[in-house]
Structure 1
Amino acid sequence: MTPFPTITTERLILREITPADATAMYEYLSDPEVTKQMALDPYESPKAIADEEIRWYHSIREQGTGIRWGITLKDKNIVIGSCGFLNRAKQHSRAEIGFELHPAHWRKGIASEAIQAVLSYGFQTYELQRIEAIVDPANTGSRQILQKHGFIEEGRLRQYEYFAGAFQDVLMYSILKTES
C-alpha cells in the first residue's frame, strides 16, 4: 500500500489517524451532540475508539473503499476531528464524504477548510466524478457547509438508516467534478 497522504492547508494538517489519537478523539466522540449526527452512540472509552473507529479507518483504506484523515491544527498535533471518504465505488467514480469536528472548533471555518482539501483530493487524486453526502435533515450546520461547497440537495431518502431504535430519514447531497 502506498504511504498515507498528508494534506496541508493554510491552518490545518490532515494526517493518518493512529491508535495514539484515541484519547483526543474520545473528547468529541463521547459527546452525544457530535455522535448523533453520525448515527452512532457516544463512545464509552478511548479503547473503544481505537478498537472500532480507528480500526474501521484503516480497514476502508486497505479495502480501497475509503480514506479518512485526522484534522489537526498546524501548531498542534492533536486530532480535533476527521474528514474523508467512505463507500467508494471505484467502477462508478463516486464516494461519500463524511466529517465531524470537536464542538470547541465549530463555526471557525475549520470543517470547511478540511472539506475543501478533501474534495480537491477526491476529484484530482481519487479521480472521482461524483461525491455524495448523507445528512440528517436536522443537521443544519452540515447542510450549510455542504451547500457552501457547491453540493446540491437531491432529495430525502426515507427511513434510510436505523439509529436510536428507529428508522431515520436522511438527505442526499452531491457535487460533480464539473461543479467543483
Structure 2
Amino acid sequence: MPRGLPRCENRPVEEQTLTDGTVWLDRPIADDIDAVAEACQDPAIAEWVTIPWPYGRADAEDFIGTTVADGWAAHSPIWAVRTAERGRLVGTVSLGTRPRDETAAEIGFWLHPEYRRKGIISRAVALTCDFGFDPAGMGLIRIHWRAFVGNHASAAVARKHGFRYEGLARLGSDHRGTRRDHWVAARLNTDPPGPAGGWPVEV
C-alpha cells in the first residue's frame, strides 16, 4: 500500500436474520455448541472442510466464541442454518472477506448429514448470495467458491446458483498439513443467479 493513504479496515456486518420461510440464517450462539460438535463428528465434513479432527466440544466452543465472533466483527459473517425460526442448528454458511477489501468474499458451507439432499443448503446459499450482493447487505462485487477436488456435492450447489467455473488450483489448499488440489468458481454481482454453464463434466 502506498504511504500516506488511510488504512481501511473491514467494518462489522449488521446482524440480521435471513429467511425464505423454509430456512432461517442467523448468528450461531452458545446454545448451538452441542449441535456443532455433534454435526462435526461426520467424517464427510472432516474430509471436505478444514476443521480440527478429531472434533470435540472444545473445538465447537472455540468456533462459536472466537471464529464466529471474529468473523462478524471483521465483515466476514457466519450464519447458522436452521429449518425453523430459532430452531436447532443444522449447518453453517459464511462469507469470508480479506482485510481491507470489502468487495469480494469466499462462500463456505456445511450441513448435518441428516439434512442433506433436501434443498436446505441450496436455499441457504441463495439467501447468502442475495445478502452478499445487496448494496444494503454487504455490497459485494464478487463471491468466490472453492472446494477440494472430488467434492461434487458442493460443486453442484455452486453451479446451480450461477457460479462460473474458473479452474483447478494444483495443491492450492492446505488441509490439516496436507496440500490438496481445489476447484475454483465465482459469481459476480452482474451474473444471473440461475445455473451456470461451462463446467467440466468431471466436476
TM-score by length of 2: 0.81
Tell me if the contact between 1:95 and 1:128 (Cα under 8 Å) persists in the aligned partners: yes
Out of 27, 30, 48, which is 1:19 matched to? 30
Residues 100-130 of structure 1, C-alpha deviations (whole Å, 9 max, x = no match): 0001011000000000000000000100011
Separation in 2, partners of 1:54, 1:144:
31
Residue in structure 1 matching 2:44, options 19, 22, 33: 33
8 Å CA contact retained: 2:48, 2:151 = yes
2:74 is aligned with what amino acid? Q
Q: Pairwise CA RMSD of aligned residues?
A: 1.9
Preserved contact between residue 82 and residue 101 of structure 1 (Cα < 8 Å): yes
Change (3 A) 1:2 1:87: closer
Query: Aligned partner of 2:67: which letter?
Result: W
How many residues are matched? 179
Q: Which has the larger radius of gyration?
A: 2
Q: Which ranges of structure 2 fall in alignment gaps of 5 or more residues?
A: 1-11, 193-203
Tell me, which stretches of 5 or more residues in structure 1 are unaligned? Answer: none
* 1:35-92 Cα shifts (integer Å, max 9, x gaps): 221132335322321123552011021122x001100111661000001201346646
Provide the rounded CA distance (Å) in 2 between the counterparts of 1:52 and 1:2: 18
Q: Which of the two has greater helix per residue?
A: 1
Please give the TM-score of this superposition, normalised by the length of structure 1: 0.91
**Residue matched to 1:119:** 129
Alignment-mate amino acid for residue 144 of structure 2: E
Distance apart, 1:176 and its partner CA: 0.6
Distance in 2, matches of 1:171 and 1:109, equals 22
Instruction: Determine which of 101, 108, 118 is the counterpart of 1:98.
Output: 108
